[in-house]
Amino acid sequence: MQSTELSGFFIKGNVCKGEASVAIKELPWAEHPSFKGVHMKHLLSGQETAGLLSCHLVRIDPNCEIGNHIHDGKVEVHTVLAGGGGCELDGKWVPYEQGTISIIPSAAPHKVMAGQSGLYLYAKFSPALV
C-alpha cells in the first residue's frame, strides 16, 4: 500500500501540540522491533503527556502481522484508516476495514493481520506505550 493513499487524511496533515506543529510526512517511520513488515510514526509520546497517552500511525505491510501480544495495564484503540485485514481479539475475529474502530481492553490478547492491500491504523494507548 502506498502512503499516497492516505494523502489528504494523515500524510498531508500536521500534529499540533499547543503552539507547535509538525508535518506528519516529516516524521520518520520506525520499524517495529519484534514484527517484520510493521512500521510506526510516533505522533505523540508519553513523554509529552506525563505518561497518560501516546498516539501512533501504524503501517502493516501486505500479508504481515503484529503477532499475538498483550498490553498489561494499557487500553488500546485502533482506528482503521486504509487497507484491510483483521484483529483476533481475545479469541474473536474483528474484521478491519476503513472506518472500523476497535477498543482493546487492558491485558486482552490480540494480534493484527493485514490483508493483501496492507493496513494503516491510527493507534492510541492509555497510559502511553512509549
Range of weakest confidence among 24-28, 74-78, 107-111: 24-28
State pLDDT tens for residues 50-64: 999 999 999 999 999
Q: What does the pLDDT read at residue 7?
A: 46
Average predicted confidence (pLDDT) for the chain: 92
Q: Is residue 99 in a domain?
A: yes
Q: Is residue 22 in a domain?
A: no
Q: Is residue 7 in a domain?
A: no
Q: What cell numbers appear for 6 in the block?
A: 492516505
Contacts of 27 (CB under 8 A, 6+ apart): 15, 41, 42, 43, 57
State pLDDT tens for residues 7-31: 456 667 899 988 889 999 999 999 9
Which residues span the domain enclosing 74?
29-126
Q: Is residue 1 in a domain?
A: no
Q: Is residue 52 in a domain?
A: yes
Q: Is residue 2 in a domain?
A: no
What value does the mean pLDDT take over residues 99-110? Answer: 97
What value does the mean pLDDT take over residues 35-41? Answer: 97
CATH number for position 48: 2.60.120.10
Other residues' Cβ atoms within 10 Å of the Cβ of residue 15? 18
Residue holding cell 492510541? 124
Contacts of 100 (CB under 8 A, 6+ apart): 78, 79, 80, 94
Neighbouring-strand partners of residue 93: 88
Q: Is residue 38 in a domain?
A: yes
**Element (DSSP H or E) covering residue 57:** strand 54-60
User: Could you tell me the pLDDT band of residue 6, with boundaries at 50, 70 and 90?
Assistant: low
Q: Is residue 64 in a domain?
A: yes
Domain count, the chain: 1
